[in-house]
Amino acid sequence: MRYWNNRTPIAALALASAFGVASAQRSPEKPDLLARRLADANLETRSAAIEEVIASPGNWTTVLLDWTTNPPAGVRASDLNVGLAEAFGRIKTEAAVPFLIRVISIRRFPFTLAPWIKEASSVEYEYPAAEALVRIGPAAAEAVIKAADGPMTPLERLCAIFVVGQAAAAPGTREFLMRAIGQANADRVWAEKGLEALKEKEDKGTGTPK
pLDDT at 10 over 60: no
Report pLDDT digits (tens) over 117-156. Answer: 889 999 999 999 999 999 999 999 999 999 999 999 999 9
- Rounded CA gap, 155 and 166, in Å? 16
Residue percentage of the chain with pLDDT more than 70: 84
First to last CA, the chain: 100
pLDDT at 163 over 60: yes
- Rounded CA gap, 154 and 176, in Å? 16
pLDDT tier, 206 (very low <50, low <70, confident <90, very high otherwise): low
Q: Of the given ranges (4-8, 145-149, 205-209), which has the lowest mean pLDDT?
A: 4-8
pLDDT tier, 29 (very low <50, low <70, confident <90, very high otherwise): very low
- Rounded CA gap, 12 and 8, in Å? 6
Which residues are within 8 A (CB) of 48 and not within 5 positions of it... i.e. 6 or more apart? 37
The pLDDT assigned to 19 comes to 37
The pLDDT assigned to 109 comes to 87
The pLDDT assigned to 3 comes to 41
The pLDDT assigned to 24 comes to 36
The pLDDT assigned to 114 comes to 85
- Rounded CA gap, 100 and 86, in Å? 10
Mean pLDDT of 173-188: 94
Helix 29-38 vs helix 77-91: crossing angle, to nearest 10: 90
Could you write out the DSSP letters of every residue in 136-198?
A: H-HHHHHHHHHHTTS---HHHHHHHHHHHHHSSP-TTHHHHHHHHHHHHHHHHHHHHHHHHHH
Which residue type occupies 205? G
Q: With the CA atoms of 146, 148, 152 and 153 taken in that order, what torsion angle do they form, in degrees rounded to the nearest 10?
A: 150
The domain ranges of the chain are 28-171
CB 116, CB 158: distance < 8 Å: yes
Q: Of the given ranges (24-38, 42-56, 172-186), which has the lowest mean pLDDT?
A: 24-38
The pLDDT assigned to 86 comes to 97
Which residues are within 8 A (CB) of 137 and not within 5 positions of it... i.e. 6 or more apart? 92, 167, 168, 170
Mean pLDDT of 113-117: 87
Nearest Cα to Cα of residue 146 among 164, 129, 130: 164
